[in-house]
Structure 1
Amino acid sequence: MSTDTDGSGDENPGPVNISLSLGESGEVWVAHDEDTGVTSQGGTRQAALENLDEAVSGYHGAGESPSDDALREMGIDPEQNTSGSLDESDVFE
């Protein structure tokens, strides 16, 4: 388990308490962030850790909203795409 930080002072520095193990198949590495519960995997230890960094960034809301064109490509009408509480969403029932 790691307790290292990058010292950058970021509000969400990324995974700090990590467990890393070889998956049951013996073909992939599994990285788990103990603080958020986010888990990722990769073909190598380094790839699993890099994928975990990206997944934890997403967990903390890093990233950009999709463009209207990207939404249309996914079959979503941008005019009908609104943010709200997950409690109000039929998708998460």
Structure 2
Amino acid sequence: MSTKHEVRRKITLTEDEETGLWSAVDEEEGVASQGETRHEALENLDKAVALYKGEIGREPTDEELREVGIEPEDNETGGELPDVLN
């Protein structure tokens, strides 16, 4: 017998009347995303939450950093967030 584990999340979903874009916010995690449809906004939110939790994604390689103009030796992870992100 298998059991399903149901995860409940409080999500706010809104449509911008001017642009028609949908915004989805996971209230518990404080993560937001958007999409052209409700479905797309929710899919993007799932990916954003997974990235936030470290469930998907990876650190960039030194080569990838150099391609965008960042010297790997100067790249630091962690520390305090900028005021705008607090």
Common topology (TM > 0.5)? yes
Q: In the TM superposition, what is the alpha-carbon distance from 1:80 to its structure 2 partner?
A: 2.3
CA–CA separation in structure 2 for the residues paired with 1:52 and 1:73: 28
Moved over 4 A (4+): none
TM-score normalised by length of structure 1: 0.69
Q: In the TM superposition, what is the alpha-carbon distance from 1:81 to its structure 2 partner?
A: 1.9
**Aligned counterpart in structure 1 of residue 46 of structure 2, from 32, 48, 53:** 53
- Unpaired runs of 5+ residues, structure 2, are none
**Aligned counterpart in structure 2 of residue 25 of structure 1, from 12, 18, 29:** 18
Task: Considering Cα pairs closer than 8 Å and 6+ residues apart, tell me whether 1 or 2 has the greater RCO.
Answer: 1
- Asked if 1:43 corresponds to 2:36, the answer is yes
- Unpaired runs of 5+ residues, structure 1, are 1-5
CA–CA separation in structure 2 for the residues paired with 1:23 and 1:7: 33
